[in-house]
Amino acid sequence: MQWGDEGKGKIVDILTPRHDAVVRFNGGANAGHTVVAGGQRFAMHLLPSGILTPDTLSVIGNGVVVDPAQLLKELAAVSEHDAAATSRLRISSRAHVVMPWHKDSDRALETFLSGQAQDRKIGTTGRGIGPCYADRAGRATAIRMGDLLEPEALRESVTMIAALKTAQIGALDAQNPPYDPAAVLTEYLGYGEQLRDCITDTTYLLHDLDREGKRLLLEGANAALLDVDHGTFPYVTSSNSSALGIPAGTGLPPPGRRSGDRRGQGLRHPGRVRPLPHRAGQRDRQRPSREGARIRHHDRPASPLRLARPGGSALFHDAERRLERRTHALRRPRGP
């Protein structure tokens, strides 16, 4: 697929009955897949196109940025056709949330860029996808789906972020009203409650399905030439929409490296030499407890033995052989 509009949604819908799960791995509500079922047209922006297929699980992976209001709107439309659709949906607790300031930032930046001597606007949908991915990379101002289930942690984050975004976006658009943290908190906690039963650790879920030999269909939101790294930059989307986005957007190993071809060295520390601080718990980041800080349920590091290892077992076997040869070379007696 190139830029889209070639019927990706229809193809996914046709292939879905042959699979046990359909997994969205990138993008957000900027995508649009149209599916016709029972003579009725459904526009899927966030829901996997296979949501209308009974007995098939639909998964929104960690690489997707989720607009909860849009997702609930789609679920309501689909549920009128199939009341059990929501029970087949799983949403990654690690997926990032599109907040009101992301949409405002998207529109304000496009307006600013279009007013330059040379029109430099990207032509976004204005749905906050790029700014949400930017906050994901920035980390401190990011909110994930799992956060919507933790009122105290969400309150702390929203209060800080709302003040910052009011200042940042106000610099681009003086007419943009300040954000009310209490209103935003109430709205998004409500979304979390409505989606509570769907939010889970999809990385572990997908690894379990893969280990059981289930057939997984990976669905991208956009076509290959919109890939942020390998597409027609800068007129691309904000994520890896090609097959390269599958491992990062789902936690699954690359194709051809699954089910038995995953071997690696387990590490005691999950990528750091000190315990991870917890936003709502341990506040003293300079003096972490000996036992380590608590980690929210959606922050637990995935086991290195379960994650993708590019090259699979062959990579580690090659490394072992190289290390063995080097060790033998060092042990050789030197001449006089």
Residue 292 CA from chain centroid, whole number? 26
- Collect all residues with Cβ–Cβ distance below 8 Å to 150 and sequence separation of at least 6: 280, 296
Residue type, 314: A
The residue annotated as part of the active site, out of 5, 55, 119, 284, is: 5
Instruction: Give the span between the Cα atoms of 135 and 216, in whole angstroms.
Output: 29
DSSP state of 303: P
- Furthest-apart CA pair in the chain: how many Å? 88
In the chain, the N- to C-terminal Cα span, in Å, equals: 65
Instruction: Give the span between the Cα atoms of 194 and 70, in whole angstroms.
Output: 13
Q: Is the dihedral of CA 154, 158, 159, 160 positive or negative?
A: positive
DSSP 163-181: HHHHHHHHHH-TTSPPP-H
33 classed as catalytic = yes
The residue annotated as part of the active site, out of 19, 33, 102, 298, is: 33
Residue 216, classed as helix, strand or coil, is strand
Instruction: Give the span between the Cα atoms of 244 and 257, in whole angstroms.
Output: 14
335's tokens:
């001449």
| Positions marked active-site | 5, 33
